[in-house]
Structure 1
Amino acid sequence: MKKINFKKFLLLFCILACVFGLTACTETISSDSAKESKKEQKLAAVSTELENWSVDMIKYFDVTSDDDVKANAENAISIDEINHDLYIVNPEGMNVATVEFCNSWVKSRSDLGRLKSIDSVELKISDETSTLGTVTVKTEYEKRNCTYEIVFDDDYNLSSAAINPVYTTGEKMEKAVLNTVIGMGTVFIVLIFISFIISLLKYVNNIGAKKEEKPAGGVENAISQIVTAEEESDETDDLELVAVITAAIAASEGTSSDGLVVRSIKRRF
């Protein structure tokens, strides 16, 4: 009886394990594979519209002047209004990413020249949850080849766009050397400026020293003035004393003081 119960318990445990295993597999399929499959179906339905918009934007940039590209971007004039066609991209109108795309093109035009051909257009599903897919367009211009990477979100708005000109090894080395020279030149200029500031500090110290010397000079002047005043006062007192003594001698002798001359005065007390 015990053996039968143990077998039943083991059978029930195996059944439950299988049920939980199937449940886990079902959740994995619904959360990952189903979502990816849904995104692929959505992307396949609009792939032509996304590719057409990307190609038309590249052609629009090529035939439009920089000033007009800037003006249209500032006034939010989309390619729908320019080509008089309906696009699925940016259903709510031109967004910030599209304006940045226009600004990037204006900066890159001088490196590319005129458009010669569009070699390939490829649409791939995005690995990021916030974006739908990426259109990669390879082009050939007068000066060099260029690859565009245009990313769209789930609402068919332009999420970001990158313009990647293909530079030769020599051009890359030239840019690297130029960046190095500019960086080192900036550092040297800053060091020279700092050295100049440090050289001016000695004048600041001299100014401080002069300010400290001024009070001492003032005290010495005051002392010299006091000493001079005392000496002048002593000379005045001596002259008065000589006059009094001369008058006293003349009175005691009954003579005039004109002939009397006092040579020196010695104090006895």
Structure 2
Amino acid sequence: MKKKFSLLGLVLILVLSLVGCGSKASEEAEYDQATMEQYADTIVTSFSNMSEENLDQFADMSDLELNLTLMQSGLPIEADDFKSMIDAWKAGLDECGTISDLGDYELTVKSSSATLTVPFKGETRDGDLEFTFDEKMNMDSITVNGHYGMAEILKKAGLNTVLGMGTVFVVLIFISFIISLFKFIPAIQNKFSKKPQAETKKEASAAAPAPVEVVPATDDSELIAVISAAIAASEGTSTDGFVVRSIKRRKSNKWS
């Protein structure tokens, strides 16, 4: 009985192993490397023979028009992906120059995508072209990777470090300058707060009537009596014969 169970277990293990190998083989068989290489060669040849103006014309086309064009050419590429490839190709030309002399393709398969890599000779720098395909062998993207020497890598890293640190220091200096201006804020606030008060006082003083100078009334009765007595003495008459009704002061204090 035990032998039957052990034999059954071995059979199950063999069946599962065969199923796993079969699924793996079918998964790898989904990608036809020869067809993918033809697609890649078509893209490289087409882009290499196009001028920058021709590439811009494709980039300016509508998605519907570009999809029809790609369908007629037999390339399994969507319009958005094709425009992204044009941008990547232009960037590769700026980095490596004219691309020529492709080497042997190498296929790397992942769970849901595959990458086709090929080395090339560049006018200014050699590099690799990477073509990415989805599980239906539709081309998703193209990447141009230039090969840099150690000196170039160190130079680029140093330049990036200097630019990064320089940007940080410039920002810090600008922030310090802004903070130094905070001390002027109270003076500005006081200036704007005092101005309305001064204008209010000025308007109040302009609206208030000017004070009237009140001249205190003087009692001239004693002065009238003295003047009357002096006139009566000089005339030799009595004070009853005349009446002093008003007294006018002369501008000069001298008697004439």
Q: Which is further off, 153-162 or 248-257? A: 248-257
Write the letter of the residue equivalent to 1:257: I
Measure, in 2, the Cα distance between the counterparts of 1:123 and 1:62. Answer: 23
Q: Which is further off, 104-113 or 196-205? A: 196-205
Does residue 159 of the first structure (1) align with residue 116 of the second (2)? no
Does residue 26 of the first structure (1) align with residue 18 of the second (2)? no
Q: Which residue number corresponds to residue 171 of structure 2?
A: 190
Displacement, 1:50?
A: 0.8
Aligned equivalent of 1:48, options 34, 53, 60:
34
Displacement, 1:145?
A: 1.2
Measure, in 2, the Cα distance between the counterparts of 1:259 and 1:151. Answer: 121
Aligned equivalent of 1:258, options 235, 248, 254:
248
Q: Which residue number corresponds to residue 23 of structure 2?
A: 35
Secondary structure of 1:144's partner?
coil
Aligned equivalent of 2:217, options 223, 241, 245:
241
Displacement, 1:149?
A: 1.6
Measure, in 1, the Cα distance between the counterparts of 2:71 and 2:103. Answer: 22
Matches for 1:3-14 after TM superposition, within 5 Å: 11=1
Q: Which residue number corresponds to residue 148 of structure 1?
A: 129
Q: Which runs of 4+ in 1 moved over 6 A?
A: 218-226
Structure with the greater alpha carbon radius of gyration: 2
Secondary structure of 1:160's partner?
strand
Q: Is the 8 A contact 1:57 1:79 kept in 2?
A: no
Q: Is the 8 A contact 1:134 1:149 kept in 2?
A: yes
Measure, in 1, the Cα distance between the counterparts of 2:222 and 2:200. Answer: 45
Displacement, 1:157?
A: 0.6
Measure, in 2, the Cα distance between the counterparts of 1:259 and 1:94. Answer: 117
Report the structure, 1 or 2, having the larger helix content: 1
Write the letter of the residue equivalent to 1:199: S
Change in Cα spacing, 1:66 to 1:35, as seen in structure 2 (3 Å) is farther
Q: Is the 8 A contact 2:93 2:99 kept in 1?
A: no
Aligned equivalent of 1:111, options 82, 92, 95:
95
Displacement, 1:203?
A: 3.4
Write the letter of the residue equivalent to 1:241: A
Q: Is the 8 A contact 2:107 2:116 kept in 1?
A: yes
Structure 1, residues 189-218: CA drift from partner, whole Å, max 9, x if none? 322332332333333322101133346656
Q: Is the 8 A contact 1:112 1:165 kept in 2?
A: yes
Matches for 1:75-86 after TM superposition, within 5 Å: 75=61, 76=66, 77-78=69-70, 81=73
Structure 1, residues 19-49: CA drift from partner, whole Å, max 9, x if none? 466446634653x432220022332xx3211
Secondary structure of 1:111's partner?
helix
Structure 2, gaps ≥5 residues long: 227-242, 251-256
Aligned residues: 227
Change in Cα spacing, 1:27 to 1:203, as seen in structure 2 (3 Å) is same
**Aligned CA-pair RMSD:** 3.5
TM-score using structure 2 length: 0.71
Q: Which residue number corresponds to residue 84 of structure 1?
A: none
Secondary structure of 1:211's partner?
helix
Does residue 213 of the first structure (1) align with residue 187 of the second (2)? no
Q: Which residue number corresponds to residue 72 of structure 1?
A: 58
Structure 1, gaps ≥5 residues long: 1-10, 82-86, 261-269
TM-score using structure 1 length: 0.68
Does residue 172 of the first structure (1) align with residue 153 of the second (2)? yes
Structure 1, residues 141-170: CA drift from partner, whole Å, max 9, x if none? 121211112121221211333211111122
Measure, in 2, the Cα distance between the counterparts of 1:216 and 1:142. Answer: 77
Q: Which residue number corresponds to residue 267 of structure 1?
A: none
Displacement, 1:224?
A: 8.6
Measure, in 2, the Cα distance between the counterparts of 1:73 and 1:215. Answer: 63
Change in Cα spacing, 1:47 to 1:188, as seen in structure 2 (3 Å) is same
Secondary structure of 2:105's partner?
strand
